[in-house]
Amino acid sequence: MSVDDDLWTAVGDSTRRRILDLLLTEGGGTATTLSRQLPVTRQAVAKHLGMLLRVGMVHVRPSGREHVYVVSQAQLARAAAQLSTVGATWDARLQRIKGIAEAIQHGREG
């Protein structure tokens, strides 16, 4: 599985992660309702939501004059799978480094 750099750039921002947390907790929200819970303006929230929309982390549905944003469960699962893959790759790398360090240490002791 390849890593989607655009996705990770989007969720790498702490404000966007907080927005995702709020959307998951509340089952959705608008730029207005989210901005009431964040230390940024409604316009800033709208820009962050636009980025999350572009990478597919959220869907938008019209509700009257508002746009309600909801987290994409499929994209969230995809992100979790990518993170798991990256974690496993780094675990394997660290084990190899540990093996090399132990071999060096044993070479000095022997």
E strand residue ranges, 42-88: 58-63, 66-71
Instruction: Among 36-45, 57-66, 90-99, name the one with the lowest average pLDDT.
Output: 90-99
Please check the confidence at residue 40 and state whether its pLDDT lies above 90: yes
Report if pTM > 0.85.
Answer: no
Q: Which fold is adopted by the domain 5-109?
A: Arc Repressor Mutant, subunit A (1.10.10)
pLDDT in tens, 48-66: 999 999 999 999 999 999 9
Close Cβ partners of 16 (under 8 Å, ≥ 6 residues apart): 10, 48, 51, 52
